[in-house]
């Protein structure tokens, strides 16, 4: 069998295909998205794959498929599990027949998320088994194990990789697809599939009795490992996931401590953990996100009256938030293991093995995704030049820029034209989750709130109950509209809220890499289907004023916003223009040099990355410009013109 | 012996393809490969970093500080940002063409990239500057900067992959109609001179 260089998410997707998964659902979210996409791309033809409208829908689709005896998987990011937690909690009581894996990717850092929540805790909360892989190649194998355990114990299981597994790459050996018998089909049984208090009570007892059995089973699970020390020691290290790899790299062959890697944090493999602690006096828990294993060990010590000092996040030895790195772990281990370990590392660096890292750099952000990290100067004689900050921005030509700017311009215009003596009207801009959260950056500065999927619509309602004199705008993308916007709009219409719904319809789920959604008319099975029409949905809900505008036509947008925002009740402006990353354009704009006065209005007003200041001259970067024409529409001296 | 290559630039510059080519060429030689990519919000014009680690026993997908044999800087400020990763005696391959962030234009900041290039010249002994603009013009495509930089990185001799082996990886991975221009860019990049 040959090896392939795969991203962790590809390994998980291919591992699920190999394990005979038959139904896969999910909602996009970094870092989980590529798992479902991989299944769709490598679909042998007998797997049903869908992007569901949100995580809750995806969870229910997968659960019902598993009720029939088929193997099913649902994929999402950690905050998606909050959306899907309602079916998850009940499903934990009901159980499944075919194997069901709930693939939830966590995001330490966080790098692309709102929270640093730890899905291992969801495992404890819902009393479901959790699998926590350490590498792409392990994830490839482990996803198959997850299906096996799910079927063995008739329960859904959580599979929880983190960003560095999902987006880490490794050479993975691919294996033959497992052949499974056809599923038995759904067998009616009201005592099994219909949740009632009586069933819940009985199954709660069943689960409490079952979980210690699974914990016992996990004590011999192939990816729960103990590395024994070579010299006698009283010190141990407990770790998991990518932190295990950081520990192994930082130890660099040092064998003066006992190490345990836990791949099944719930139910914990108690027997293995007790064996691990035998003879130890101290254990350092090196974990990312929450101190789950640290707390479990502490409980175990209490219950078994063990005199072992458990350290980690709760004792302040390990950072309480953010990603771990080889550097941060090495620092923890130096303080914990002391001279023998430090001497060992020094003996290595005296030889051929490179000096891995220094303590001084350990505080910097690994991966430097924010672009804000400042390097340590190598030589004092050469101070590091100040680095330009490079936060993510809306792309050049992005229609969201134009939409936000139009609303901003409309409110400025409204206030400029107010009769003398009248108080200015304040606009409140409630944002949402997607590329358009980047509308918060200067110079647009048009996102005042962002909480979670769909919240922009409902938050504008809560505020106006206290401050009704302001004008409220709720920005929502097309994918978010379908995922969780509808409930908030119904709430607004029913409760007679007063807000302008700004639907930024770019015909895709852009932030996560352009997934189709109900409004695009395409499915993950490659079918062209009827589009769910946003205007008709709004009409059906009872929104009285709805208008679709060309997001790149500034004047039309400004006038519509002015007109609509003055109306009573819920009104919707649909700013329509496709995401610039999915349309091929040959258009460009150029600056007519003898007309340009370098006033920088274009740069200062819209902050397009294609508009650059070269010395004191404004230029358009032709490599980035898409010819959207927004800058030309605001130029005060008509010095920007389109070129074909 | 593990070889570490760090590729850094701005979202959209093609760091991922270049890192995949290194891993593929290494795997063709029977070496293990590991790595990590920046995916998500940062891809929208933000700083991006790809880590590639080949050969030997590798645990972490991320390269530790001061452990990169070669850094491939697609942009001068991003190269400086990632300098703490460079191993003593390691090679920095850099394109001197700056990508000006919106923040710099907004504040009237005079970021030209020159100050970054000066700093690199003063602090890095093993520095290769790749004239990507000229190579792209000669190769007939503006999109081959990544492979030109890769050529210079291979020519440093510090990655343990030969130019011929990389050429094979390109032939295997890249669609036929783009192969010739990429092979040209690879070889032109490899001919870049040390500073």
ipTM of the shown complex: 0.94
**Interface mutation vs chain B, best among A371, A397, A579, A611, most B CBs within 10 Å:** A371
Residues with Cβ within 8 Å of residue B5, at least 6 apart in sequence: B19, B22, B51, B52, B53, B54, B68, B69, B70, B71, B72, B153, B159
Q: Which of B11, B61, B103 sits opposite A388 (nearest CB)?
A: B103
Any CB–CB contact under 8 A between A382 and chain B? yes
CA dist A256 → A235, A246, A339, B34 (Å): 8, 17, 11, 27
pLDDT in tens, A299-347: 999 999 999 999 999 999 999 999 999 999 999 999 999 999 999 999 9
Any CB–CB contact under 8 A between A393 and chain B? yes
The pair of three-digit structure tokens given for residue B37, joined into one six-digit string: 């990519």
Cα gap A635→A639, rounded to integer Å: 7
- Count of all residues that appear for chain A in the document: 644
The answer to whether B120 and B94 are in contact (CB under 8 A) is yes
Cα gap A102→A130, rounded to integer Å: 9
Any CB–CB contact under 8 A between B109 and chain A? yes
Q: Residues 540-559, chain A: which have Cβ within 8 Å of B?
A: none
How does DSSP assign A125-137, residue by residue?
Answer: HHT--EE--SSHH
Collapsing DSSP to helix, strand or coil, A249 comes out as: helix
Cα gap A7→A11, rounded to integer Å: 6
Asked whether residue B105 is domain-assigned, the answer is yes
Asked whether residue B123 is domain-assigned, the answer is yes
Any CB–CB contact under 8 A between B35 and chain A? yes
| Distance of residue A262 Cα from the nearest chain B Cα, in angstroms | 16
C-alpha dihedral, A229 to A233 to A234 to A236, nearest 10° = -30
Q: What is the pLDDT of residue A1?
A: 53
| Distance of residue B58 Cα from the nearest chain A Cα, in angstroms | 7
Confidence band (pLDDT; 50, 70, 90) for A384? confident
| Distance of residue A462 Cα from the nearest chain B Cα, in angstroms | 29
| Distance of residue B34 Cα from the nearest chain A Cα, in angstroms | 4
pLDDT for B118 beyond 80: yes
> What domains are there in chain A, each with its CATH number?
3-216 (3.40.50.970), 225-361 (3.40.50.920), 399-576 (3.40.50.970), 588-643 (3.30.70.20)
Chain B CB contacts of A242 under 8 Å are: 60-61
Q: What residue ranges in A401-533 does DSSP mark as E strands?
A: 427-430, 471-477, 499-505
pLDDT for A352 beyond 60: no
Q: Choose the most confident range, by mean pLDDT, from A77-91, A366-380, A596-610.
A: A77-91
Chain B CB contacts of A373 under 8 Å are: 81
pLDDT for B101 beyond 90: no
The pair of three-digit structure tokens given for residue A405, joined into one six-digit string: 């700017």
Whether residue A110 is preceded by a cis peptide bond, meaning omega within 30 degrees of 0, is yes
| Distance of residue B193 Cα from the nearest chain A Cα, in angstroms | 24
Q: What is the pLDDT of residue B11?
A: 84
CA dist B27 → A173, A362, A392, B34 (Å): 12, 31, 33, 10
A-chain residue closest to B114, CA distance:
A385
Collapsing DSSP to helix, strand or coil, B160 comes out as: coil
pLDDT for A2 beyond 60: yes
**Interface mutation vs chain A, best among B61, B80, B173, most A CBs within 10 Å:** B61
Q: What is the pLDDT of residue A382?
A: 74
Confidence band (pLDDT; 50, 70, 90) for A389? confident
The pair of three-digit structure tokens given for residue A465, joined into one six-digit string: 């109950």
Collapsing DSSP to helix, strand or coil, A553 comes out as: coil
Residues with Cβ within 8 Å of residue A448, at least 6 apart in sequence: A428, A429, A430, A431
Chain A CB contacts of B118 under 8 Å are: 385
Q: How many CB atoms lie within 10 A of CB A555?
A: 10
Asked whether residue B138 is domain-assigned, the answer is yes
Asked whether residue B153 is domain-assigned, the answer is yes
Q: What is the pLDDT of residue A614?
A: 82
Collapsing DSSP to helix, strand or coil, A138 comes out as: helix
Cα gap B172→B21, rounded to integer Å: 10
Asked whether residue B11 is domain-assigned, the answer is yes
Q: What residue ranges in A58-139 does DSSP mark as E strands?
A: 72-77, 100-105, 130-131
The answer to whether A213 and A251 are in contact (CB under 8 A) is no
Compute the average pLDDT of residues B73-99. Answer: 96
| Distance of residue B109 Cα from the nearest chain A Cα, in angstroms | 8
Q: Which of A5, A364, A443 sits opposite B20 (nearest CB)?
A: A5
Residue environment code for A521-538, b if the CB has 16+ CB neighbours within 10 A, otherwise e: ebbbeeeeeeebebeebb
Q: What residue ranges in B14-167 does DSSP mark as E strands?
A: 33-36, 47-54, 68-73, 86-94, 126-129
Indicate the helix (H) or strand (E) that contains A408. Answer: helix A399-416
Cβ–Cβ gap A357/B66 under 8 Å: yes
Cα gap A517→A512, rounded to integer Å: 12
The answer to whether A296 and A239 are in contact (CB under 8 A) is no
CA dist A363 → A326, A357, A359, A574, B65 (Å): 11, 11, 8, 45, 11
Q: What is the pLDDT of residue A355?
A: 40
Asked whether residue B49 is domain-assigned, the answer is yes
Q: What is the pLDDT of residue B38?
A: 81
Percent of chain A with pLDDT over 70: 95
Query: How far from the centroid of its chain's Cα atoms is residue A21's Cα?
Result: 23
Phi/psi region, residue A542 (left: phi>0; alpha: psi -120 to 50; beta: rest), is left
pTM of the model: 0.94
Q: What is the pLDDT of residue B42?
A: 65
Q: Residue B139 sits in a domain of what CATH number?
A: 3.40.920.10
Compute the average pLDDT of residues A29-41. Answer: 97
Look at strands A235-239 and A282-286 and give their pairing.
parallel
Strands of the A258-261 sheet, one edge to the other: A225-227, A258-261, A235-239, A282-286, A309-311
Collapsing DSSP to helix, strand or coil, A310 comes out as: strand
The answer to whether A637 and A595 are in contact (CB under 8 A) is yes
Cα gap A454→B171, rounded to integer Å: 47
C-alpha dihedral, B121 to B127 to B131 to B132, nearest 10° = -120
User: Half-sphere exposure of B185 toward its Cβ, with a 13 Å CA cutoff?
Assistant: 27
Count of domains in chain B?
1
User: Half-sphere exposure of A626 toward its Cβ, with a 13 Å CA cutoff?
Assistant: 19
pLDDT for A177 beyond 60: yes
Rounded to 5°, angle at Cα A311 from A309 and A313: 155
pLDDT for A385 beyond 60: yes
Rounded to 5°, angle at Cα B93 from B77 and B10: 40
Asked whether residue B195 is domain-assigned, the answer is no
Q: B140 burial class (0-12, 13-18, 19+ CB within 10 angstroms)?
A: exposed
Q: Which of B64, B101, B102 sits opposite A326 (nearest CB)?
A: B64
Closest Cα partner for A329 from A229, A236, A251?
A251
Confidence band (pLDDT; 50, 70, 90) for A126? very high
B158 lies in which domain range?
A: 3-190
Cα gap A96→A105, rounded to integer Å: 22
Compute the average pLDDT of residues B47-60. Answer: 93
Query: How far from the centroid of its chain's Cα atoms is residue A100's Cα?
Result: 21
Residues with Cβ within 8 Å of residue A75, at least 6 apart in sequence: A24, A25, A26, A27, A32, A33, A35, A36, A58, A103, A104, A105
Cα gap A225→A427, rounded to integer Å: 57
Indicate the helix (H) or strand (E) that contains A643. Answer: strand A640-643
How does DSSP assign A215-248, residue by residue?
Answer: HHHHTT-TT-EEE--SS--SEEEEE-HHHHHHHH
Compute the average pLDDT of residues B122-144. Answer: 93
pLDDT for A586 beyond 70: yes
Cβ–Cβ gap A392/B38 under 8 Å: no
- The DSSP bridge partners found for residue A236 are A258, A283
The answer to whether A508 and A582 are in contact (CB under 8 A) is yes
Q: What's the mean per-residue pLDDT of chain A?
A: 93
Q: What is the CA radius of gyration of chain A?
A: 28
B-chain residue closest to A512, CA distance:
B40
pLDDT for A89 beyond 80: yes
Residues with Cβ within 8 Å of residue B34, at least 6 apart in sequence: A168, A169, A170, A171, B52, B53, B54, B58, B60, B61
The pair of three-digit structure tokens given for residue A101, joined into one six-digit string: 């894996």
Please report how the helices B15-28 and B145-155 are oriented relative to each other, as an axis angle in degrees rounded to 10.
40
Asked whether residue B131 is domain-assigned, the answer is yes
pLDDT in tens, A201-254: 999 999 999 999 999 999 999 999 999 999 899 999 999 999 999 999 999 999
The answer to whether A328 and A319 are in contact (CB under 8 A) is yes
pLDDT for A363 beyond 70: no
Any CB–CB contact under 8 A between B141 and chain A? no
Chain B CB contacts of A364 under 8 Å are: 65, 84
Collapsing DSSP to helix, strand or coil, A447 comes out as: coil
pLDDT in tens, A100-116: 999 999 999 999 999 99
Helices and strands (DSSP H and E) totals, chain A: 23, 22
Chain B CB contacts of A3 under 8 Å are: 27
| Distance of residue B66 Cα from the nearest chain A Cα, in angstroms | 6
Any CB–CB contact under 8 A between B137 and chain A? no
Q: What is the pLDDT of residue A381?
A: 64
Collapsing DSSP to helix, strand or coil, A495 comes out as: coil
Confidence band (pLDDT; 50, 70, 90) for B128? very high
The answer to whether B87 and B69 are in contact (CB under 8 A) is yes
Q: Which of A371, A609, A615 sits opposite B102 (nearest CB)?
A: A609
């Amino acid at each position: 069998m040959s090896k392939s260089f795969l991203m962790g998410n590809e390994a998980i997707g291919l591992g699920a295909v190999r394990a005979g998964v038959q139904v896969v659902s999910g909602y996009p979210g970094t870092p989980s998205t590529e798992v479902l996409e991989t299944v769709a791309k490598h679909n042998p033809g007998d797997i049903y794959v869908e992007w569901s409208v949100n995580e809750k829908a995806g969870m229910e689709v997968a659960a019902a498929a598993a009720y029939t005896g088929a193997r099913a998987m649902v994929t999402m990011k950690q905050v998606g599990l909050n959306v899907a937690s309602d079916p998850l909690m009940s499903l934990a009581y009901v159980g499944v027949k075919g194997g069901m894996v709930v693939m939830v990717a966590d995001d330490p850092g966080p790098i692309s998320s709102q929270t640093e929540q730890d899905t291992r805790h969801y495992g404890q909360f819902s009393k479901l088994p959790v699998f926590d892989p350490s590498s792409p190649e392990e994830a490839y194998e482990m996803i198959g194990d997850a299906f096996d355990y799910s079927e063995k114990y008739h329960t859904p299981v959580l599979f929880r990789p983190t960003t560095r597994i999902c987006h880490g790459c490794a050479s993975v050996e691919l294996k033959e697809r497992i052949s499974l018998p056809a599923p038995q089909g759904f067998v009616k049984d009201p005592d099994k599939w219909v949740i009632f208090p009586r069933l819940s009570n009985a199954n709660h007892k069943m689960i409490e009795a079952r979980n210690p059995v699974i914990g016992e089973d996990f004590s011999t699970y192939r990816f729960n490992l103990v590395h024994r020390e070579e010299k006698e020691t009283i010190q141990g290290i407990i770790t998991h996931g990518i932190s295990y790899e950081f520990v192994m790299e930082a130890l660099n062959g040092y064998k003066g401590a006992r190490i345990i890697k836990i791949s099944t944090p719930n139910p914990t493999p108690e027997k293995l953990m007790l064996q691990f602690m035998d003879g130890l006096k101290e254990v350092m828990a090196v974990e990312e996100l929450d101190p789950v294993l640290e707390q479990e060990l502490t409980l175990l010590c209490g219950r078994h009256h063990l005199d072992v000092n458990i350290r980690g996040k709760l004792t302040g030895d390990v950072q309480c938030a953010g990603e771990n790195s080889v550097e941060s772990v090495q620092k923890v281990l130096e303080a914990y293991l002391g001279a023998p370990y430090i001497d060992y590392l020094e003996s290595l660096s005296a030889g051929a093995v490179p000096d891995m890292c220094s303590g001084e750099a350990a505080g910097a952000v690994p991966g430097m995704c924010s672009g804000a990290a400042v390097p340590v100067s190598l030589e004092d004689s050469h101070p590091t030049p100040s680095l330009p900050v490079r936060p993510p921005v809306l792309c050049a030509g992005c229609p969201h820029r134009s939409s936000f700017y139009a609303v901003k311009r409309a409110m400025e215009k409204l206030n400029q034209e107010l009769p003398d003596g009248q108080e200015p009207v304040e606009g409140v801009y409630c944002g949402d989750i997607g590329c358009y959260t980047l509308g918060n950056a200067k110079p647009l500065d048009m996102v005042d709130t962002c909480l979670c999927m769909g919240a922009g619509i409902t938050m504008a309602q809560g505020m106006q109950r206290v401050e009704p004199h302001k004008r409220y705008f709720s920005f929502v993308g097309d994918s978010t509209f379908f995922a969780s916007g509808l409930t908030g709009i119904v709430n607004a219409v029913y409760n007679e809220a007063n807000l302008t719904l700004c639907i930024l319809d770019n015909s895709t789920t852009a932030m996560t890499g352009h997934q189709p959604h109900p409004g695009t008319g395409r499915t993950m099975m490659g079918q062209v289907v009827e589009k769910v029409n946003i205007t008709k949905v709004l009409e059906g809900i009872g929104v009285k004023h709805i208008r679709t505008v060309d997001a790149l036509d500034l004047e039309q947008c400004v006038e519509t916003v002015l007109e609509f925002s003055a109306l009573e009740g819920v009104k919707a402006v649909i700013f329509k223009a496709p995401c610039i990353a999915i349309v091929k354009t040959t258009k460009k704009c150029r600056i007519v040099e003898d007309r340009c006065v370098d006033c920088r209005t274009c740069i200062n007003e819209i902050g397009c990355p294609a508009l650059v200041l070269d010395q004191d001259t404004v230029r358009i970067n032709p490599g980035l410009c898409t010819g959207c024409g927004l800058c030309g529409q605001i130029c005060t001296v008509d010095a920007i013109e389109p070129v074909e | 012996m593990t070889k570490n290559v760090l590729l850094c630039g701005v979202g959209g510059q093609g760091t991922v393809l270049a890192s995949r080519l290194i891993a593929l060429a290494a795997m063709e030689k029977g070496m293990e490969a590991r790595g990590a990519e920046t995916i998500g919000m940062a891809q929208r014009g933000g700083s991006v970093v790809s880590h590639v680690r080949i050969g030997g026993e590798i645990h972490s997908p991320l390269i530790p500080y001061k452990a990169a044999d070669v850094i491939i800087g697609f942009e001068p400020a991003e190269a400086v940002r990632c300098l703490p990763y460079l191993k003593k005696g390691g090679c920095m391959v850099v394109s001197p063409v700056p990508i000006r962030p919106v923040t710099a234009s907004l504040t009237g900041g005079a970021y030209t990239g020159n100050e970054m290039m000066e700093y690199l010249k003063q602090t890095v002994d093993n520095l290769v500057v790749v004239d990507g603009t000229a190579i792209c013009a000669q190769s007939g495509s503006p999109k081959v900067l990544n492979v030109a930089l890769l050529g210079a990185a291979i020519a440093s001799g510090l990655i343990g992959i030969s130019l011929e082996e990389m050429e094979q990886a390109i032939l295997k991975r890249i669609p036929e109609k783009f192969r010739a221009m990429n092979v040209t860019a690879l070889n032109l990049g490899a001919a870049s001179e040390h500073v």
